[in-house]
Amino acid sequence: MNILQRIQVKRVLTTEALEHIQESFDLKKKQLQMEIEQLKFQQKKQLHLSKQPEDKITAYFVNEIEKREEQLAIIVYEGDQLNILPLGSEIIEREVEALVPIKVGDQWSSIQTNKEIVIKDDIIIEIRTR
């Protein structure tokens, strides 16, 4: 029998990884800025064309714009924090699920131990049991 187990994937911060992450942040920032501009444009269009009350339209678009601005602020903050970290630091990249085979007689506590995969420059360098 197999069970699903969550495994943390950590990335060792190298200059290449730092550049890759910064590029990813830059793309996300550009995307959010474009969405904000698009929402502002749509708001103006809806105000002129719609028969709904202005305050309802404005409230909707202000809410959506604020969501994007919050996401943008988080990305900027994470980018600033990333620049503070020294090279060689491990950062959590994501979690994956793995199939773990189990059978009668296995020790449950050993199966339940958390595992980590450590990646450096796109190569798995270590698999840890915590």
pLDDT of residue 117: 94
Which residue in 96, 35, 43, 45 sits closest to 67, CA to CA? 35
Sequence ranges of the domains in the chain: 2-129
End-to-end CA distance of the chain: 23
* pLDDT one digit per residue (tens) for the chain, 130 residues: 989 999 999 999 999 999 999 999 999 999 999 999 999 999 999 888 878 888 888 999 999 999 999 999 999 999 999 989 999 999 999 999 999 888 998 888 888 888 899 999 989 999 998 7
pLDDT of residue 47: 86
Helix (H, G, I), strand (E, B) or coil at 7: strand
pLDDT of residue 113: 83
Q: What are the DSSP E strand ranges found in 18-122?
A: 90-101, 115-120
The pair of three-digit structure tokens given for residue 28, joined into one six-digit string: 């996300």
Please check whether residue 95 is in contact with residue 9, taking contact to mean a CB–CB distance below 8 angstroms: yes
Please check whether residue 62 is in contact with residue 73, taking contact to mean a CB–CB distance below 8 angstroms: no
pLDDT of residue 124: 95
Helix (H, G, I), strand (E, B) or coil at 89: coil
pLDDT of residue 48: 85
DSSP state of 103: -
Distances (CA, A) of 128 to 7, 9, 65, 93, 121: 10, 10, 42, 15, 18
pLDDT of residue 86: 94
